[in-house]
């Protein structure tokens, strides 16, 4: 495989096939079509389990929220 051609797809990580003997080297980038609906569904699904992206609440934030609700209910 030539140095200019990566071994795996830079978008999906899939292994690329060796070019056929004598085939011209591709010099233009490959335009990949993404299924945006599928990606949105995956992102939505993973969001529910990705604890890392959630912002944790502090007791002070809770205190303010409780106080605000209490004032509203009066």
Residues in contact with another protein, total (CB under 8 A)? 11
Residue 54 binds another protein, judged by CB under 8 A: yes
Is-contact 17 8, C-beta < 8 A?
Answer: no
Token couple for 58? 């502090």
CA 37 centroid distance within chain: 13
CA 11 centroid distance within chain: 11
Which of 2, 27, 28, 58 forms a contact with another protein (CB under 8 A)? 58
**What is the per-residue binding string for another protein in 11-50, x denoting contact by CB under 8 A?**
----------------------------------------
């Amino acid at each position: 495989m030539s140095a200019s051609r990566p071994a795996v797809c830079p978008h999906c990580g899939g292994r690329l096939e060796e070019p056929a003997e004598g085939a011209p080297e591709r010099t233009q980038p490959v335009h990949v079509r993404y299924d945006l609906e599928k990606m949105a569904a995956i992102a939505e699904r993973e969001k529910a389990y990705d604890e890392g992206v959630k912002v944790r609440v502090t007791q002070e934030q809770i205190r303010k929220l409780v106080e605000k609700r209490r004032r509203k209910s009066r």
